[in-house]
Amino acid sequence: MTHARPTILVRAMLALLLALAAWLPAQAQQSGGNNMRVTLVADGPPMPGQTWTLALHFVPKTSEWHGYWKNPGDAGAGMRLDWRLPQGWTAGEPLYPVPKTLVIADLMNHVFEGEHTVLVPVSVPANAAVANPAPIGLEIDYLACTDQICVPERAKLSIDPSAAVRDPRFDRWRAQIAPLLDQPARYAIAGRLLRVAIPLPASLPVAAPHVFIENRDLVNYAGAQAFSRVGDQLIAEVPLAEEATDPGELRGILALGDGNGIRFGGTAGSVPANGEPVGTAVGGGAVPTFWLALLGALAGGLLLNVMPCVFPILSLKAMALARAGGEESGARRDGLAYAGGVILACLALGGLLLLLKAGGEQVGWAFQLQEPGVVVGLLVLATAITANFLGMFEIPSLSVSGSGAGGGSFLTGLLAAFVATPCTGPFMAAAMGAALLLPWPQALALFAALGLGLALPFLLLGFVPPLRRLIPRPGPWMARFQRLMAIPMGLTALALVWLCWRLGGAAFAAGAVVVAGLAVLVLITLWGQHSARRTVSLAALGLAMVVAGVGLPRVYERPSRVGEGGMLDSKPFSEAALASAQAIGKPVFVYFTADWCLTCKVNEGAAIERAATRDAFRKAGVTVLVGDWTQRDEAITRFLTAQGAAGVPLYLWYPAGGAAPRQLPQVLTPSLLEELARGTG
Tell me the C-alpha distance between 455 and 95, whole Å. 44
Do the strands 90-91 and 116-123 form a parallel or antiparallel pair, or are they unpaired? Answer: antiparallel
CA torsion 395-398-400-402 (nearest 10°) is 50
Beta-bridge partners for 95: 119
pLDDT value at residue 16: 46
Tell me the C-alpha distance between 598 and 325, whole Å. 31
Which residue stretches of the chain have pLDDT < 70?
1-33, 203, 279-289, 307-327, 359-362, 395-408, 421-427, 429-430, 433-434, 436-437, 473-475, 527-542, 544-551, 554-555, 558-565, 658-660, 680-681
> φ, ψ for residue 45 (rounded to 5)?
-75, 155
Tell me the C-alpha distance between 280 and 21, whole Å. 52
**C-alpha 132, offset from chain centre:** 39
Q: Cβ atoms within 10 A of the Cβ of 464, count?
A: 12
Q: At a CB cut-off of 8 Å and minimum separation 6, what does 540 contact? A: 518, 521, 522, 525
CATH 2.60.40 fits 185-281, yes or no: yes
Beta-bridge partners for 227: 236
What dotted CATH number matches 571-678? 3.40.30.10
Q: At a CB cut-off of 8 Å and minimum separation 6, what does 472 contact? A: 325
Tell me the C-alpha distance between 457 and 59, whole Å. 51
CATH 3.40.30.10 domain residues, the chain = 571-678
Name the DSSP class of 423: S
**N-term to C-term CA, the chain:** 48
pLDDT in tens, 10-45: 455 555 444 444 433 333 333 466 889 999 999 989
pLDDT value at residue 287: 43
pLDDT value at residue 94: 96
Q: Write the DSSP string, 186-237.
A: EEEEETTEEEEEEE--TTS--SS-EEEE-STTSB-TTSPPEEEEETTEEEEE
The pTM of the whole model exceeds 0.75: no
Q: What share of the chain is helix, strand, coil (3-state, %, to 5)?
A: 40, 25, 35
CATH 2.60.40.1250 domain residues, the chain = 4-167
Tell me the C-alpha distance between 181 and 251, whole Å. 11
pLDDT value at residue 537: 63
Tell me the C-alpha distance between 117 and 108, whole Å. 22
Beta-bridge partners for 500: none
Give me the numbers of helices (H) and strands (E) for the chain, helices first please: 20, 25
Is 511 in contact with 552 (CB distance < 8 Å)? yes
SS (H, E, C) 656-669: CCCCCCEECCCCCC
CATH 3.30.565.10 fits 4-167, yes or no: no
pLDDT value at residue 22: 40
Burial (CB count <10 Å: 0-12, 13-18, 19+), residue 581: buried
